[in-house]
């Protein structure tokens, strides 16, 4: 089945630790995105990547880092510099610049204590 | 940052009621308006993508309209069913957005009581 997978579904970390969230897609999509959702707020864009080995900051990139070494994979690292890391994280992909429909993964809920 | 607003924030209706909610967005440099349906514990699922002023789209009991001149879109659900309970997200794309970035509203959470 084609789709986007995110693992794990729930993640717990101690404050001060970096943590990496996985996102994999087998849709052969060029573009991938990371969003964050906080209670009562819309999805906010953290980072996006249009092609392999290239990525751009979104609206709230501070305290996060990404890599795009393979087309299928776009991992997000939440660093200890992120002041409020506890949130729900969604990954998405789209066919590319010429296609504006995004497909979403099931999300990862990160809790940092 | 583009400001996309949705209202109401949440809505409780009885099974069989028809309902509608609103998405407003800045109309300058508009490119596309997206509606997503997000059920608890699932991925957001695309409902509609609309680009032209006056566009109307329909999928079963759900339909949407678009007014790009005044910057709003309505989502209508006819004869709501409990399985329609979800959060409905709208998102806007600007014509000059790199990577076709979506800017999301806060969502409308619909709960349909049997």
Q: What is the pLDDT of residues B4-39, one digit of tens each?
A: 999 999 999 999 999 999 999 988 888 889 999 999
pLDDT at A2: 65
Q: Which residues of B touch A95 (CB under 8 A)?
A: none
Q: Which chain A residues touch B if contact means CB-CB below 8 Å?
A: 4, 31, 33, 35, 40-45, 48, 50, 56, 58-59, 90, 94, 97, 99-107
pLDDT in tens, B39-98: 988 899 999 999 999 999 999 999 999 999 999 999 999 999 999 999 999 999 877 665
Please indicate whether, in this complex, the C-beta atoms of B9 and A40 are within 8 angstroms of each other. Answer: yes
Tokens of B49: 């993508």
Please indicate whether, in this complex, the C-beta atoms of A56 and B99 are within 8 angstroms of each other. Answer: yes
pLDDT in tens, A4-51: 999 899 999 999 899 999 999 999 999 999 999 998 788 999 999 989
pLDDT at B111: 97
Q: Which residues of A touch B37 (CB under 8 A)?
A: none
The average pLDDT across A51-79 equals: 95
**Greatest mean pLDDT range, A55-59, A91-95, B15-19:** B15-19
Return the DSSP state at B100: G
Q: Which residues of B touch A39 (CB under 8 A)?
A: none
Question: Does residue B103 contact residue B2 with C-beta atoms inside 8 Å?
Answer: yes
pLDDT at A99: 60
DSSP readout, A82-113?
-S---EEEEEEEESBTTB---EE---EEEEE-
pLDDT at A98: 57
Question: Does residue A44 contact residue A59 with C-beta atoms inside 8 Å?
Answer: yes
| Chain A interface includes B4 (CB < 8 A) | yes
Q: How many CB pairs under 8 A join A and B?
A: 65
């Amino acid at each position: 089945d084609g789709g986007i997978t995110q693992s794990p579904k729930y993640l717990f970390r101690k404050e001060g630790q970096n943590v990496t969230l996985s996102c994999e897609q087998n849709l052969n999509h060029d573009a991938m995105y990371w969003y964050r959702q906080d209670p009562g707020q819309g999805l906010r864009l953290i980072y996006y990547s249009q092609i392999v080995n290239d990525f751009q900051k979104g609206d709230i990139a501070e305290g996060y880092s990404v890599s795009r070494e393979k087309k299928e994979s776009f991992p997000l690292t939440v660093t200890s510099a992120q002041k409020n890391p506890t949130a729900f994280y969604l990954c998405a992909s789209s066919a590319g610049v010429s296609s504006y429909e995004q497909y979403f993964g099931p999300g990862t809920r990160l809790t940092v204590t | 940052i583009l400001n996309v607003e949705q209202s109401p924030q949440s809505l409780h209706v009885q099974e069989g009621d028809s309902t509608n909610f609103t998405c407003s967005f800045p109309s300058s440099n508009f490119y596309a308006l997206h509606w997503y349906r997000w059920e608890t514990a699932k991925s957001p699922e695309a409902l509609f993508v609309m680009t032209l002023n006056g566009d109307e789209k329909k999928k079963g009991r759900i339909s949407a309209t678009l007014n790009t001149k005044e910057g709003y879109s309505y989502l209508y659900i006819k004869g709501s069913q409990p399985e329609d309970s979800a959060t409905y997200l709208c998102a806007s794309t600007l014509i000059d957005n790199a990577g076709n970035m979506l800017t999301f509203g806060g969502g409308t959470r619909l709960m349909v009581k049997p």
